[in-house]
Structure 1
Amino acid sequence: MIVEWIRHTITPAPRPLRRMGVLHDLIAIDARRRRNRRAWTPHLRATHGVILDCAARLDRWDTVVVIGAGLAKDVPLMSLALLFRRVVLVDLMFMPSVRLSAMRMTAVELAPADVTGVLEAVRVLPPGAPLPEPRAAVPAIESADLVISCNTLSQLAHAPARWLAQHHHTDEATLEAFRRALIADHLRVLSEAPCPVCLITDTERQEMTAERPTAAEDLLHGVEPEVEGSAWWWRIAPKPEERLLHDVRHRVIGGWLKGYSASDDSPADLALGPATDPS
């Protein structure tokens, strides 16, 4: 905890991202990775393998765009920098280790961006105003030979939904529809990319007791990506990381994005939802 606090204090970050907990989240996930290095290794290896397999199947290697590279621990960055002339890393912000890697590798460039298009709008949202509509956009996607969305799809709504819950007391039904809309809109933009798309995402969370699931959660909130590739379990929180007697694992899928389906509300429907819970 002390080390995490020191990192949070000395790591440069835009003030709005600090206020919305983005830097805190990056440091926390990196600390968890360090604590559970052995449990995370199969997941990281599988992620690297999917990315490199997709890259090897291309017939042109000029530009690759990687979404969700703020830590870049699950991205085979050196291999991509050797294979592609240009490697564009996209995230809200980048930790110092990633910035240092970008300085050392001439092929790597950083593109800080909010791919949901709603984070700032949520931060300055007046009480009672309609929730902002998703405006997904990915830097450099027009010139890409490969787009990789890496372990970020289920996390897109985390910061804005948390802000709405804490500062606007938005009801859970509205937040659920908002999360679903952001996820669906991200997949829409990916599916419209002018190049192949590699999608890696966790889809389900399970609490395990004695190697048996005792609770489950849909991490994509009813949105179902169609991916041609592989699936595996990620032991994200072996006991006692979160629970004294329970392990937590996530189901992960990775491969070529073929399409997606979304239940209930479409992204456009979310403009009707107020930010403040009327109750």
Structure 2
Amino acid sequence: MIVEWIRHRLTPAPRGLRRMGYLRELIAVDARRRRNRRAWGPHLRATHSVILDQVAQLDRWNQVVVVGAGLLSDVPVATLALLFRRVVLVDVLFMPSVRLTALRIPSVELAPCDVTGVVEAVRTLPRGAPLPPSRPVIPGLADADLVVSCNVLSQLPLLPARWLARHHDTDEAALLAFRRRLIADHLHLLMEAPCPVCLVTDTERQEMTADRPTAAEDLLCGIVPDVEGATWWWRIAPRPEELWLHDVRHHVMGGRLRGVHMPRDGAARPGAAAPADQPGVTGGG
């Protein structure tokens, strides 16, 4: 915790993003990855494999755009830089190690961007004002030969929704609709891309006791991406990382995005526990 506090104090970041917790979350995720290298290894390798599998199916390798590249641990950037003339990394904030990577590799370009278009609007929202509309954007989308949304979809609404709950007392129903809108709009923008889209995202959180799920949560608010590829379990927080008596794992899908299924009744799909099979990559999606 002391190391994380020092990194937070020393790492440069825009004041608004720092106030909303983006730097703190990025540092916390990086610290958790370091503490749980063995547990995270299969997930990171599976993510790399899915991305490179989509690359192998292309017939042009001019530009790839990767959304969610703030840490780069789940992005095979060195390989992408060998294959593509231009690699555009997109995230709201980048760690200094990623900036150094971009300096070392001429074909890598950083594109700091709030892909939801709501972060600053949420931070400066007057009390009592309606929630801001989603304004999704992805730099370099029009010229891309491949777009990768990498382990970011479920994260897009978290900090804006947390800010609204803490500073505006926004009720749960409004927050659910807000979260769903940010997720859906990102997916719909990806579907409009003039090239193949590789989506890697966690979809469900499970708390595990003795290899059995005891609690589950839908991370995409009832929205179901149609992905042709693979699925696997990510041991994101082996006990006691997050819970003293429970492991936490996330279900992940990765592959080519083919469509988006929205909830019909406007309510989030219940997080029913899936069978407690062993973690690993499986076919399908």
TM-score (norm 2): 0.92
Matched, 1:117 2:146: no
Distance 1:169 1:36 in 2: 35
Distance 1:125 1:229 in 2: 40
Residue 195 of structure 2 is matched in structure 1 by 195
Question: Partners in 2 of 1:253 and 1:5 — Cα distance?
Answer: 33
| Residue matched to 2:236 | 236
Please tell me whether the aligned partners of residues 205 and 251 of structure 1 are also in contact (alpha carbons under 8 angstroms).
yes
Aligned to 2:281: none
Rounded to whole Å, the distance in 1 between the matches of 2:92 and 2:214 is 34
How many residues align structurally?
Answer: 266
Aligned twin of 2:245: 245
The Cα of 1:265 is off from its aligned counterpart by: 4.8
* 1:145-183 C-alpha deviation (Å, 9 max, x unpaired): 000000000000011001101110111111111000100
Q: Distance between the aligned counterparts of 2:107 and 2:216, measured in 1?
A: 41
Q: Deviations over 1:105-145 (max 9, x none)?
A: 01100000000011111111111111111111100000000
Report the secondary structure of 1:127's partner residue: coil
TM-score normalised by L of structure 1? 0.94
Question: Could you give the per-residue CA deviations for residues 166-215 of structure 1, whole angstroms, max 9, x where no partner exists?
Answer: 11011111111100010000000000000000000000000000000000
Matching residue of 1:184: 184
- The one-letter code of the counterpart of 2:74 is D
| Per-residue CA distance 1:61-114 (angstroms, 9 max, x = gap) | 000000000001000000000000000000001000000000000110000000
Q: What does 1:59-98 align with in structure 2 at a 5 Å threshold? A: 59-98=59-98
Structure 2, unaligned stretches of length 5 or more?
Answer: 268-285
Higher relative contact order structure (alpha carbons within 8 Å, sequence separation ≥ 6): 1
Q: Which amino acid aligns with 1:46?
A: A
| Structure 2: distance between partners of 1:55 and 1:105 | 19
The one-letter amino acid of 1:27's match is I
Residue identity matched to 2:135: R
Distance apart, 1:244 and its partner CA: 1.1
Whole-angstrom CA distance in 1 between matches of 2:152 and 2:201:
6
Identity fraction in percent: 72
Give structure 1 regions of 4+ aligned residues with deviation exceeding 2 angstroms. none
- What's the C-alpha RMSD, in Å, of the aligned pairs? 0.9
1:101-180 pair list within 5 angstroms: 101-180=101-180
Q: What stretches of structure 1 of length at least 5 have no aligned partner?
A: 267-279
